[in-house]
Structure 1
């Protein structure tokens, strides 16, 4: 039986909604939808690239806390409020995962939890055996 590891960041969203930033069960790590939200508004303001960079910084920290890394990512899901931003977001995604090339999906949504958020990203990772 695999132990369940919960990763929390202290975000008010985690406490209010009742979820973990990441969950690891065995070699599998699931990172919840992550945004650039802060108490003062979106980190990066209205710059979708800056928001995306902040999201990946937070995702990387969550993965590390779960004993994984960006190189272990096998799937990403990107939610955007304007699909026309796909190229700007895609350039950053490509730079982050240039040698990993995870399976990925990008979809437009009508809104995110705060009106100034433009992008939310989920990732799934599998930590390879070190044998």
Structure 2
């Protein structure tokens, strides 16, 4: 099965040897996004809720570039450096979906790129 690379300038450029997303068949695999503002290239550091909103906006930009939306998301993975932030992240995350929620796991990790507190990746159908 062929794969198609999908990137957008409306989300942060990759900071390593990967792409923002890869489409294969009717599936879209979106790399983990961190709270990096694509315009200023600065990290959002004004609290976990603002950070999570930026992550979701970055994901949304990539989904849009691929012709999808959060309605197409079937699986997400949330990485947190502190599980005490779970409720606040969950509240923001949930506001981007309309009730038909995807499958998900949330895990606490010891560190994330650029020292951020949250990273989220998604898989969507097209």
TM range (shorter): 0.7 to 0.9
State the match for 1:70 in structure 2. Answer: 70
Give me the whole-angstrom Cα distance separating, in 2, the residues matched to 1:21 and 1:47. 24
State the match for 2:81 in structure 1. Answer: 81
State the match for 2:125 in structure 1. Answer: 126
Give me the whole-angstrom Cα distance separating, in 1, the residues matched to 2:30 and 2:54. 15
Q: TM-score, normalised by structure 2?
A: 0.87
The CA deviation at 1:99 is 2.1
Q: Structure 1: give runs of 5+ residues left out of the alignment.
A: none
Give me the whole-angstrom Cα distance separating, in 2, the residues matched to 1:42 and 1:69. 24
- CA RMSD after TM alignment: 1.7
Larger radius of gyration: 1
State the match for 1:37 in structure 2. Answer: 36
State the match for 1:56 in structure 2. Answer: 56
The CA deviation at 1:66 is 1.4
State the match for 1:99 in structure 2. Answer: 99
Deviation string, structure 1 residues 36-93 (Cα, Å, up to 9, x no partner)? 13576421x1401101000110101111111211100001100001000000000011
In the alignment, is the contact (CA less than 8 A) between 2:8 and 2:65 conserved in 1? no
Q: 1:54 to 1:26 in 2, by over 3 A?
A: same
In the alignment, is the contact (CA less than 8 A) between 1:34 and 1:121 conserved in 2? yes
In the alignment, is the contact (CA less than 8 A) between 1:5 and 1:66 conserved in 2? no
Give me the whole-angstrom Cα distance separating, in 1, the residues matched to 2:5 and 2:14. 16
Give me the whole-angstrom Cα distance separating, in 1, the residues matched to 2:5 and 2:123. 14
State the aligned residue count. Answer: 121
Deviation string, structure 1 residues 16-49 (Cα, Å, up to 9, x no partner)? x211101111210010010013576421x14011
Q: Which stretches of structure 1, 4 residues or longer, exceed 3 Å deviation after superposition?
A: 38-41
